[in-house]
Chains A and B, each alone.
Chain A
Amino acid sequence: QKEVEQNSGPLSVPEGAIASLNCTYSDRGSQSFFWYRQYSGKSPELIMFIYSNGDKEDGRFTAQLNKASQYVSLLIRDSQPSDSATYLCAVIGSGTYKYIFGTGTRLKVLA
Chain B
Amino acid sequence: NAGVTQTPKFQVLKTGQSMTLQCAQDMNHNSMYWYRQDPGMGLRLIYYSASEGTTDKGEVPNGYNVSRLNKREFSLRLESAAPSQTSVYFCASSVGSSNQPQHFGDGTRLSIL
Interface residues of A (CB under 8 A from B): 8, 31-32, 34, 42-46, 49, 51, 88, 90, 92, 96-99, 101-104
- Which chain A residues lie closer than 8 Å to B90 at the CB level? 43-44
**B-side interface size class:** 20 to 34
Q: List 26 A-B pairs, Cβ < 8 Å.
A: A31-B98, A31-B99, A32-B98, A34-B101, A42-B106, A43-B105, A43-B106, A44-B43, A44-B90, A44-B104, A45-B104, A46-B101, A88-B42, A92-B98, A92-B99, A96-B98, A97-B31, A97-B50, A97-B94, A97-B98, A97-B100, A98-B58, A99-B43, A101-B42, A103-B40, A104-B42
Interface residues of B (CB under 8 A from A): 31, 33, 40-45, 48, 50, 58, 90, 94, 96-107
Looking across the interface, which residue of chain B has its beta carbon closest to that of A48?
B101
- Which chain A residues lie closer than 8 Å to B104 at the CB level? 43-45
Looking across the interface, which residue of chain A has its beta carbon closest to that of B6?
A43
Residue pairs across A and B with CB atoms within 8 Å: the count is 52
- Per the bound structure, the CA–CA distance linking A99 and B43 in Å amounts to 9
- Per the bound structure, the CA–CA distance linking A98 and B21 in Å amounts to 21
Looking across the interface, which residue of chain A has its beta carbon closest to that of B99?
A32
- Which chain A residues lie closer than 8 Å to B94 at the CB level? 97
- Per the bound structure, the CA–CA distance linking A98 and B41 in Å amounts to 17
